Structure 1
């Protein structure tokens, strides 16, 4: 078994050094995730690489998304927290009414842009990155109703922003974004590995939900991604569908053949009718037809590869 490892060395006063082991073990992927995360933390603290450091920073400062990134940076450093709280409250209520995930209404980053620059018209809203015509048509008037109640110090256009953020502030912010991204990647990697081990050990969704600290919906999404990558999740599917009759499973399968596998709701309505159960019972039905969809897609891909 090959062993991997990396460490960070701090040179102290005199000849003293302090070594920090970032990871030692047999998994190259995990070591790489930890290395990137720990390095991003050090860069965020002000350390800079001696080799190719200038070239690296110039790319960050002159990238094609440079202007938008500066706006994001400024908005996070100058958020109107009171306005941001109002916007998040509105988003939460809107998401509940429309039965959508909150980020479909507006990401945290977008709400921070709004709270920092306080747009007063639809034209100004459309100048914010990530806010397009579609979102303006759906939510523009409601957002403006909230933002117009707040005062602002500077107006649009936002060409004054780059001069308000120093390169040092900007680079520190960029490295913080990388730190958060690599931390997320590391958590995803570990959760994915934990789930694969759980499936191999015969654990069910409830056990994985507790062990991985994820919702059942997130676990199902991870199962779909694992299937796309070629991993076998069939043992878990078999366990979760053992209380579902073969006849019921066949009806769901036939609905996918007729309607396609793009959306769950049409399949649910065709198999169980429009006036079906609600609440936890409804979630269970969605969960089961989603598990059957994994099988259905696997079958389609297998036939295509053979053909």
Structure 2
């Protein structure tokens, strides 16, 4: 095996005792290997094989995720830039992340719960998903720094003029009377943070990010292999552990990227009458393919309901929409492998 990349990492363990490790990537006849070696007292003690396979992309996802875990645990590399990606963190982003980090450990729980209660009530009255109004992260920030004025509220990352105009009065009614130890502007936060703990927290955020990327990559591989083998959504659901709606969303992504998903569409639509499929197609041509509900009403009627629910009907609408959009798009070659 040829070693194509290697890096040395270290961390402090116990009372000022430094421990070392080695991270390596190797290749042999198209098979990539990724591993981690622990050292103690200058001697190799244990080796962990993180990945062995033919996909560079999957190996890189595993590499980034596992490395983020190790660096979150305190390991630091001899060679910087170990994630092999552009570091898009500007000074402004860094400061916003410091505020987020501080808010996770210093929030006012009573105010946070009050803000969450407000969000549930407002989301219900506006018939919106709660996260559209405000994310948990944003409510944490507001409950930690407790703005008392509109000008202070606008200093919270994630609060723009639009959100401040919509919800600022409600938020300030909750936060403006709360006692606080610090004031605005928030440039004091930097001095309150222990730098090494903050850096470890940053790597924990990377760990979550790379884990999601890895799960997404593996889901796509399972889907493509399953589609090629003629599997339907129910079997793909079993194989992947993902619900049918997320599977179809991923199938739509694959189609947009040029992968061939027609085998799955044929399997899922084989029991749908041809005249029903044609009616759905014609409805897309008449009312457009952006929204599904108008097409559902056009084909099945405004008051249509089904004892088993509408999920299966929306599934067939989305699958036929894939075909419809493919037909409308310029003809290009379709990829068949991942």
Structure 1 residue 133 and structure 2 residue 165: aligned? no
- In terms of fraction of residues, the more strand-rich structure is 2
SS of 1:10's equivalent?
strand
From 100, 104, 124, the equivalent of 1:76 is 104
User: Equivalents in 2 of 1:278, 1:114: separation in Å?
Assistant: 44
1:76-102 CA distance string (max 9 Å, x none): 232334443444455456556655444
Q: How does 1:181-200 map to 2 (within 5 A)?
A: 181-200=209-228
Displacement of 1:41: 1.4
Contact kept in structure 2, 1:6 and 1:35, CA below 8 Å: yes
Contact kept in structure 1, 2:37 and 2:46, CA below 8 Å: yes
Displacement of 1:184: 1.0
Contact kept in structure 2, 1:83 and 1:147, CA below 8 Å: yes
Structure 2 runs not aligned, ≥5 long: 1-28, 334-338
From 27, 48, 57, the equivalent of 2:76 is 48
Q: How does 1:205-224 map to 2 (within 5 A)?
A: 205-224=233-252
Structure 1 residue 274 and structure 2 residue 302: aligned? yes
Displacement of 1:232: 1.6
Structure 1 runs not aligned, ≥5 long: none
Contact kept in structure 1, 2:148 and 2:177, CA below 8 Å: no
SS of 2:320's equivalent?
helix
Contact kept in structure 2, 1:84 and 1:112, CA below 8 Å: yes
Displacement of 1:290: 1.5
User: Equivalents in 2 of 1:96, 1:134: separation in Å?
Assistant: 20
* Cα distance change of structure 1 residues 277 and 140 upon mapping to structure 2, 3 Å threshold: farther
Displacement of 1:156: 2.9
Structure 1 residue 112 and structure 2 residue 146: aligned? no
User: Equivalents in 2 of 1:76, 1:83: separation in Å?
Assistant: 14
Q: How does 1:79-158 map to 2 (within 5 A)?
A: 79-88=107-116, 90-92=118-120, 95=123, 100-147=128-175, 150-158=178-186
Q: What is the TM-score normalised by the length of structure 1?
A: 0.84
SS of 1:23's equivalent?
strand
RMSD: 3.0
SS of 2:283's equivalent?
helix
Displacement of 1:224: 0.8
Question: Aligned pairs, how many?
Answer: 302
From 318, 321, 338, the equivalent of 1:290 is 318
SS of 2:36's equivalent?
strand
- In terms of fraction of residues, the more helix-rich structure is 1
Displacement of 1:60: 7.8
Displacement of 1:33: 0.9
* Cα distance change of structure 1 residues 206 and 115 upon mapping to structure 2, 3 Å threshold: farther
Partner of 2:6: none
Partner of 1:265: 293
From 22, 28, 32, the equivalent of 1:4 is 32
* Cα distance change of structure 1 residues 138 and 74 upon mapping to structure 2, 3 Å threshold: same
User: Equivalents in 2 of 1:90, 1:207: separation in Å?
Assistant: 41
Q: What is the TM-score normalised by the length of structure 2?
A: 0.77
